[in-house]
């Protein structure tokens, strides 16, 4: 089944829309390099579109009705948006779900040390990374330091032109004979991923003078002591902005596109629908890359609790109503797919791979070793999605993530499916997934955003 390349059908008007959307997308990536930053942007944009904080509505004992738009946040790391539909919420919602955490290096809680006149910060990587990809490139640090008195200091160093950047050093090729004999998984090991943080000693200091100077700078700039690292969340990410890629600028190269490409397109779709029949929901969650754990991951009760509050504000809460609402809902679990890469053709099965330019990717199932751990979308549901997408002339393709038994991956789809709702994995094809710089196709971003929008309106 040959699927068409979306670029071939675009007229001037669509190309203009596509470039405008992708320009906004690059800004989203530049300003959202951590889950906290993504939540912040999401709330700002939601407020501009008339969304109100659900907590305030609860506190003021206000009611919700059709047409109202609300958002709920947990721990500044996950967010849910709701646009209340004209139909009874018991008939179900149309849900877009994506994740806003990305692979990175996290600063440890006792990180700072000095060795041979260098100061370092020790890290523990987050999510699945090829460790050798994180050396010898400019890195930035984004995050928060929370003091004992409750004050939060926001940190962002390395992404402004004037900022210094950071680095994990690699061994020079001249001395790397032995290193290059090692397996790729061992070329750089986890404990070697320490950030080079400084090299200038504090004059007159006898012991650990470079570290002492770093502590002085931290005190001056952030009013922090070494102990404050204990209650900090500092994420080391590639420094630099999202860029157009290819001589034809048909692609985007940037950090964190898994899964912010789906988060951004879901958010844009959510904010561009106005009146809906079925309540629309956009869910942007944390911790997908480490198993959807914790209070801000998809497996937490955050989403369910928020739906309880919404039904309550609609003036008609009951457990039965909640269960019916969830069971009758439909979801697009949006996450990236592995784009077919001719350079690594043997990892793919060509008929069932996703391709750049062929639009939104749907996956009936994910998982590994015989679909294990996956949601397996219902054929009836897929048929209804095909109709919606075909009627709206959205370019889409159906694909698996790589060849059978080569590997695999999971998403948040199976978690929502536990409620008995219809869920299918879908998203955008990505090259070099989980590398510091990932690549997507602008046409796929454009088609996916349109696909999400029509799903919210028609599913
Ligand atoms: Mn993902
Ligand atoms: Mn991932």
| Cα angle value 452/458/459 (rounded, 5°) | 80
From the number of C-beta atoms within 10 Å of its C-beta (0-12, 13-18, 19+), residue 456 rates as buried
CA 48 / ligand 1 centre spacing (Å): 28
Structure tokens at 417: 């499916």
From the number of C-beta atoms within 10 Å of its C-beta (0-12, 13-18, 19+), residue 10 rates as middle
CA 444 / ligand 1 centre spacing (Å): 16
CA 317 / ligand 2 centre spacing (Å): 36
CA 256 / ligand 2 centre spacing (Å): 9
Average pLDDT, rounded, for the chain? 97
CA 195 / ligand 1 centre spacing (Å): 25
Q: Residue 281: what pLDDT?
A: 98
CA 297 / ligand 1 centre spacing (Å): 13
Task: Judge if 352 and 453 occupy the same domain.
Answer: yes
CA 256 / ligand 1 centre spacing (Å): 9
Q: Residue 1: what pLDDT?
A: 76
**Residue at 176 is within a domain:** yes
Task: Judge if 390 and 306 occupy the same domain.
Answer: yes
Least Cα distance to 268 among 415, 425, 74, 428 occurs for 428
CA 388 / ligand 1 centre spacing (Å): 25
CA 182 / ligand 2 centre spacing (Å): 26
Structure tokens at 132: 């050798």
Contact (CB, 8 A) for 258 and 372:
no
CA 99 / ligand 1 centre spacing (Å): 7
Contact (CB, 8 A) for 441 and 21:
no
Structure tokens at 119: 């100061």
Task: Judge if 279 and 263 occupy the same domain.
Answer: yes
**Residue at 23 is within a domain:** yes
CA 428 / ligand 1 centre spacing (Å): 10
Task: Judge if 97 and 123 occupy the same domain.
Answer: no
Confidence bin at 2 (pLDDT 50/70/90): confident
Please write the tens of the pLDDT for every residue from 342-357. Answer: 999 999 999 999 999 9
Terminal-to-terminal C-alpha distance of the chain: 25
- Ion ligand 2 — residues with CB under 5 Å? 258
Closest ligand to the CA of 427 = 1
Please write the tens of the pLDDT for every residue from 274-293. Answer: 999 999 999 999 999 999 99
CA 79 / ligand 2 centre spacing (Å): 19
Q: Where a domain ends, among 178, 203, 238?
A: 238
d(C-alpha 119, C-alpha 258), whole Å: 32
Q: Where a domain ends, among 238, 268, 291?
A: 238
CA 379 / ligand 1 centre spacing (Å): 23
CA 289 / ligand 2 centre spacing (Å): 5
Task: Judge if 64 and 134 occupy the same domain.
Answer: no
Task: Judge if 423 and 446 occupy the same domain.
Answer: yes
Closest ligand to the CA of 263 = 1
CA 102 / ligand 1 centre spacing (Å): 8
Closest ligand to the CA of 289 = 2
Confidence bin at 208 (pLDDT 50/70/90): very high
Task: Judge if 25 and 128 occupy the same domain.
Answer: no
Q: Which residue segment(s) compose the domain that 118 sits in?
A: 104-238
| 246 pLDDT higher than 90 | yes
Beta-carbon contacts of 135 under 8 Å, excluding residues fewer than 6 positions away, are 167, 168, 169, 170, 188, 193
Number of compact structural domains in the chain: 2
Least Cα distance to 266 among 75, 26, 455, 37 occurs for 455
More confident residue, 407 or 273: 273
Q: Residue 410: what pLDDT?
A: 84
Confidence bin at 167 (pLDDT 50/70/90): very high
**pTM surpassing 0.75?**
yes
Task: Judge if 98 and 116 occupy the same domain.
Answer: no
Task: Judge if 399 and 312 occupy the same domain.
Answer: yes
Q: What are phi and psi of 204, to 5 degrees?
A: 75, -5
Contact (CB, 8 A) for 119 and 306:
no
| Cα angle value 62/63/66 (rounded, 5°) | 140
Q: Residue 409: what pLDDT?
A: 84
Q: Residue 200: what pLDDT?
A: 98
d(C-alpha 454, C-alpha 459), whole Å: 8
Q: Could you give the 3-state DSSP secondary structure of residue 211?
A: helix
Q: What is the mean pLDDT of residues 405-413?
A: 89
- Side-chain-side CA neighbours of 423 within 13 Å: the count stands at 25
Q: What is the mean pLDDT of residues 308-332?
A: 97
Task: Judge if 232 and 96 occupy the same domain.
Answer: no
CA 209 / ligand 1 centre spacing (Å): 42
Q: Where a domain ends, among 238, 273, 299?
A: 238
Contact (CB, 8 A) for 263 and 332:
no
CA 14 / ligand 1 centre spacing (Å): 28
Closest ligand to the CA of 103 = 2
| 193 pLDDT higher than 90 | yes
DSSP run (H or E) holding 385? helix 379-391
Beta-carbon contacts of 187 under 8 Å, excluding residues fewer than 6 positions away, are 131, 132, 179, 180
d(C-alpha 306, C-alpha 80), whole Å: 8
CA 28 / ligand 1 centre spacing (Å): 17
**Residue at 244 is within a domain:** no
Query: β-strands 195-198, 118-126: how paired?
Result: antiparallel
- Ion ligand 1 — residues with CB under 5 Å? 258-259, 335
CA 113 / ligand 2 centre spacing (Å): 31
Token pair 């018991």: residue = 90
CA 457 / ligand 1 centre spacing (Å): 25
């Amino acid at each position: 089944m040959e699927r068409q390349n979306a670029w071939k059908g675009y007229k001037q008007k669509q190309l203009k829309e596509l470039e405008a959307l992708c320009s906004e997308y690059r800004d989203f990536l530049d300003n959202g390099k951590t889950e906290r930053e993504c939540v912040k942007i999401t709330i700002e944009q939601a407020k501009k579109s008339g969304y109100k904080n659900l907590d305030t509505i609860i506190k003021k004992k206000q009611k919700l009705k059709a047409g109202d738009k609300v958002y709920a946040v947990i721990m500044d790391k996950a967010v849910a948006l709701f646009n209340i539909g004209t139909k009874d919420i018991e008939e179900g919602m149309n849900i877009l779900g994506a994740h806003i955490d990305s692979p990175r290096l996290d600063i440890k809680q006792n990180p700072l040390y000095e060795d041979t006149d260098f100061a370092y910060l020790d890290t523990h990587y987050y999510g699945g990374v090829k460790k050798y990809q994180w050396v010898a490139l400019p890195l930035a640090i984004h995050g928060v330091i929370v003091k004992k008195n409750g004050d939060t200091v926001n940190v962002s160093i390395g992404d402004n032109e004037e900022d210094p950047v950071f680095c994990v050093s690699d061994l020079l090729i001249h001395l790397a004979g032995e290193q290059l004999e090692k397996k790729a998984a061992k070329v750089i090991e986890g404990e070697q991923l320490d950030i080079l943080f400084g090299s200038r000693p504090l004059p007159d200091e006898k012991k650990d003078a470079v570290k002492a100077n770093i502590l002085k700078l931290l005190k001056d700039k952030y009013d922090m002591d070494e102990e404050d690292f204990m209650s900090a969340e500092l994420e080391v990410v590639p420094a630099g902005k999202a860029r157009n890629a290819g001589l034809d600028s048909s692609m985007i190269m940037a950090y964190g596109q898994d899964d912010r490409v789906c988060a951004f397109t879901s958010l844009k779709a959510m904010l561009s629908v106005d009146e809906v029949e079925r309540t629309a929901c956009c869910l942007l969650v944390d911790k997908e890359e480490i198993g959807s754990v914790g209070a801000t991951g998809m497996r937490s009760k955050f989403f369910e609790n928020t739906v309880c509050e919404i039904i309550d504000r609609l003036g008609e809460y009951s457990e039965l109503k909640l269960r019916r609402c969830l069971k009758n809902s439909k979801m697009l679990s949006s996450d990236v797919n592995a784009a077919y890469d001719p350079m690594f053709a043997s990892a793919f099965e060509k008929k069932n791979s996703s391709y750049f330019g062929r639009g939104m990717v749907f996956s009936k199932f994910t998982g590994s070793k015989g679909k294990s751990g996956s949601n397996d979308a219902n054929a009836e549901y897929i048929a209804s999605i095909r109709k919606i997408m075909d009627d709206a002339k959205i370019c889409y393709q159906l694909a698996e993530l790589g060849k059978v038994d080569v590997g695999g991956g999971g998403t948040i789809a199976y978690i929502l499916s536990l409620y008995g709702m219809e869920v299918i994995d879908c998203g955008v094809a990505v090259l070099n997934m989980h590398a510091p710089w990932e690549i997507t196709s602008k046409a796929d971003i454009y088609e996916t955003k349109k696909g999400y929008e029509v799903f919210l309106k028609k599913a």
